Amino acid sequence: MKLTGLLSRTNATLPGVTGVARVDRRTGELLRRIGPGDVAVLDQVDLDRRTAEALIAAEVVGVVDAAPSISGRFPNLGPEVLIEAGIPLIDGIGAQALREIKDGTKIRLHEGAVYVGDREVARGTEQNAESVADQMIEAKAGMSAQLEAFSANTIEFLRRERTLILDGVGVPEVFVSIRDRQVLVVAGGSSHAEELRRLRKYIREYRPVLIGVDTGADTLHAAGLKPDIIVGDPDGIGTETLKAGSEVVVPAHPDGHAPGLERIQDLGIGAVTFPASGNAEDLALLLAEAHGASLVVTVGFQATLREFMDRGHSGSNPSTFLTRLKLGGKLVDGNAVAVLHRSRVSLGVMVLLVFAAVIAMAAALAVSGVGHVYVDVIVETWNNVLTWGKGLFA
């Protein structure tokens, strides 16, 4: 007991950040296991923003990447997000180091090195705001090459999936009625929860079909909204959310394998599969379009070129690009809808305000003893206001 106490005090005096290592080459699997106080040890070239935000949400105390977190191919956003959140990031430790760092071991990060006790087991580059900014400048120069590769990938993707993109062949049937209705698709992107909150009035008024994509379904459920359709890998979605959804659509690989389908079956929840090589977000949009949605509002989707290229490592960009072309004018960003809906003044409110002003004017004139002179003028003005208001909001 005394020895344990001595060791604890000794470890507490060592510099750096200490936590329990959670090791996995498969980033998706790792994100399901990490929790507060853990150090995420992964192997991902070009750490993207969505992964970084998931790590922050899990309250990890540090991140160790076997690969370069910024390769220079394009300006990916993950390292910058982690550094801004105050989470240490050491990258480029090499694949061999993943075998040296055992899952569940307490490790310490300090000045680019990974320690188990006093023994250094790996060393890489500890990123900071300055180093990330310098690498971003260089990475922007690689954008032209990435765009050229993207063009070639788009042609190849269209060759494989042309019947799905052009004709909707392979889109599963759903029980929820979508035709001629507005659809709100929520994905787990940056600030998606806040963006959804700003759309509460829009949701109450238009009652759109609610589609939750991956963790976006959890966000809908947490906001007290029932997802009409859930699209994504069930392994990354909460059990209560899955049970609350009306329908579940599980993306499947072109060979028919559907990750997470076993969990759905264990929970006794009915689901349909959607075989395609696109990501879950794109499949949700294609689902809405194929079933006749009049308008599709998106929350948590990448909107800028930098965010778009940030997911270039996933190989899903051609799908994303072509899917958005397919929807065309039906596709609207949720931030724009929130701004337009917030700035709109209803006819009823305007009429009540004008009516109150007219009554106050009439009362004041009546008290003054000259009200009868202006009654006809007030009535005529009131009729003109009503006519103008109806024409404006028709």
Three-class DSSP category at 54: helix
Residues 46, 251, 277, 174, CA torsion sign: negative
CB 120 within 8 A of CB 107: no
> What are the tens digits of pLDDT across the range 141-178?
766 666 666 666 667 777 777 777 777 778 889 999 99
Query: How far, in Å, CA of 271 to CA of 250, rounded?
Result: 7
Query: How far, in Å, CA of 197 to CA of 203, rounded?
Result: 10
**Selected residue with higher pLDDT from 314 and 175:** 175
Kindly report whether the global pTM for this prediction surpasses the value 0.85.
no
Lowest mean pLDDT among 223-237, 278-292, 379-393: 379-393
Lowest mean pLDDT among 200-214, 302-316, 330-344: 302-316
What is the pLDDT at residue 231?
Answer: 94
- Supply the DSSP string of 232-292, one letter for each residue: S-GGGS-HHHHHH-SEEEEEE-TTS--TTHHHHHHHT---EEEE-SS-HHHHHHHHHHHTT
pLDDT at 1 over 60: no
Query: How far, in Å, CA of 69 to CA of 212, rounded?
Result: 29
Angstrom CA distances, 179 to 89, 119, 213, 312, stand at 47, 63, 20, 33
> What are the tens digits of pLDDT across the range 94-141?
988 888 899 999 999 999 999 998 899 999 999 999 999 988 888 777
Query: How far, in Å, CA of 290 to CA of 175, rounded?
Result: 14
> What are the tens digits of pLDDT across the range 264-287?
888 888 888 888 877 888 899 999
CB 211 within 8 A of CB 284: yes
Amino acid (one-letter) located at 211: I
